[in-house]
Amino acid sequence: MPVRVATWNVNSVRLRVDLIGHLMDEFAPDILCLQEIKVETGGFPAAPLRDIGFRHQHVIGMKSYNGVAILSRLPFKAVGGEPWCGRHDARHAWVELRRGVELHNFYVPAGGDVADPETNPKFAHKLHFMTEMANWWTARKDPARKAILVGDLNVAPLETDVWSHRQLLKVVSHTPVEVAHYNRILAAHDWVDAVRRFIPKAEKAFSWWSYRSPDWTQNDRGRRLDHIWVTPALEPKLKGAQILRDIRAWTRPSDHVPVIVDMVI
């Protein structure tokens, strides 16, 4: 059956319930993966999101920071989430869908300001987290695995994933060491970047624009931090991908926009 999977760093789910409703009205995702819900599991706005169609919800929240959720019109066969780097900081949730398809939702640490693991513990944590991800997927590598990996990976890997490759080479999210870690995870399970299967690599594509710029549209200084990958077993099932750029202009927006993939599972 055709399924539309969306991922969105909402930057506080409680403030974005109405925007999620608009997203549902306009784009009707069957599954919506959220990051940075910034609420404890018990405070998640489950009822209003159920009322717009997401009957099935798997929420891993915490107070103030991080937090991930998978909302779905399709039922789950199993659910879970791993702690990473020995911390239960709500950065990973997974569900099993029909026909054994796994869906993993990640929120990779941002990494702080300074791209140096020796002086910046947040950057060290980011690299450690990504190393663990690569090792985890290597250990689970299986050519038959049908899996989807989505999330805010906080890395813009390609030159066309940032507004200026040259000017961002030393900026956290686009440094060579982060891109190398990103590529290690990708290679760990032969993941396919589903979005770049449909948006040519030569074309600029962004999913995040800073709040700090007075006008996000001016000079289009964005980055592609939000990703959807699939395993080789699912690659032939991909039908399309979109980055919903216009949502950055909605009222009281997140600084990230949703990314969507259509596929058959």
Partner DNA sequence: ATGCCGTATGATATACGA
Assess 176 for contact with DNA (CB under 7 A).
no
Q: Is the dihedral of CA 110, 184, 34, 77 positive or negative?
A: negative
Size of the site for DNA (CB under 7 A): 39
- List phi, psi (to 5°) of 241: -150, 150
Assess 213 for contact with DNA (CB under 7 A).
yes
Assess 117 for contact with DNA (CB under 7 A).
no
Smaller CB separation from DNA, 76 or 84: 84
**What letter would DSSP give residue 53?**
T
Options 50, 55, 63, 201; binder of DNA; rule CB under 7 A: 63
CB of residue 161 vs DNA: minimum separation in angstroms? 11
Residue with tokens 């700090």: 212
d(CA 262, CA 79): 22
Assess 64 for contact with DNA (CB under 7 A).
yes
Options 119, 135, 167, 217; binder of DNA; rule CB under 7 A: 167
Inter-residue contact 171 to 165 (CB < 8 Å): no
Q: Which stretch binds DNA (CB under 7 A): 22-30, 73-81, 203-211, 239-247?
A: 203-211
* Percent of residues in the chain assigned helix, strand, coil, to nearest 5: 30, 25, 45
Smaller CB separation from DNA, 175 or 231: 175
Assess 168 for contact with DNA (CB under 7 A).
yes
**What letter would DSSP give residue 99?**
G
Q: Which stretch binds DNA (CB under 7 A): 57-65, 73-81, 138-146, 180-188?
A: 57-65
DSSP notation for 180-223: HHHHHHHHHTT-EETTTTTS-TTS---SEE-SSSS-TTGGG-EE
Q: Which stretch binds DNA (CB under 7 A): 80-88, 95-103, 138-146, 204-212?
A: 204-212
d(CA 133, CA 22): 33
Q: Which stretch binds DNA (CB under 7 A): 20-28, 35-43, 72-80, 190-198?
A: 35-43
**What letter would DSSP give residue 91?**
-
CB of residue 247 vs DNA: minimum separation in angstroms? 13
Residue 11, token pair as written in the block = 């930057």
Assess 250 for contact with DNA (CB under 7 A).
no
Identify the CA nearest to 31 among candidates 47, 8, 9: 8
Options 172, 194, 195, 265; binder of DNA; rule CB under 7 A: 172
Could you list the residues that contact DNA (CB under 7 A)? 9, 11-12, 14-15, 36, 38-39, 63-65, 109-113, 122, 152, 154, 163-164, 167-168, 171-173, 208, 210-214, 219, 221, 223, 225, 252, 255-256
